Amino acid sequence: MEIEKAYRFKLEPTSEQAKKLAQMAGCGRVVFNDSLDYVLNIIKKSVAITDKKAIYEHLNDLSYQDRKLLKKSFPNSAFLNKQLTSWKKLNHRAWLDDAFTDCLQQRQRDFVKALDEWSKGKRGFPVFRTRKLSHHSTMRFPAPKKQINIQNKHIKLPNGLGLVRYHNSQPVIGELRNATVSLNAVGEWHISIMCL
């Protein structure tokens, strides 16, 4: 049986890199929120409720069977990825092109997973992401073997971030499976790496 090992390191980005990380996290939030808005518009067509709070109460009060039935009308990640391509062509969303597409598509997969967990009764219906909550500022790199390179006291990240200094407290051993960069409540960036 293969055992996964997790590593977490504090990043020390330059001011320019920190700005780029914040922009990428912001793009991820927007894509998550646009995907959620798209699904809520589908729901509004099937229920006679327009108030956001009332819609959430209704959705979270639905039975397991009703949740499964409603979820069949929701788009999958592949469809949302196509939507992302069209959103990038909109004048007010053209800046989405500045973010790493793989991270944006991963946010959509995370959103679809959240919908799936809601339909199974494991959690409430997904809520809009806000910059006020630090855990909403994350980006996951789904193919870290291609996207990330650990070099002594630096981690090379894609999308023009380059070599980002990090607190190398222990060697990373194993095959990289996924990596997530996140912001904590005091404004520090960290990277979590899962290895096999």
What is the DSSP-derived secondary structure letter of residue 125? P
Expressed as residue numbers, the domain containing 141 is 5-195
Number of domains comprising the chain: 1
Which structure tokens are listed for 119?
């339909």
| Residue 152 in this model has a pLDDT that exceeds 90 | no
- What is the pLDDT at residue 1? 65
The set of residues, in sequence order, having a beta carbon less than 8 Å from that of 159 and lying 6+ positions away, is 20, 24, 99, 100, 103
| Residue 45 in this model has a pLDDT that exceeds 80 | yes
For residues 139-159, average pLDDT: 89
* 5 bridge partner residues: 195
pTM assigned to the model: 0.90
| Residue 59 in this model has a pLDDT that exceeds 70 | yes
| Residue 136 in this model has a pLDDT that exceeds 80 | no
* 180 bridge partner residues: 140, 192
For residues 121-132, average pLDDT: 92
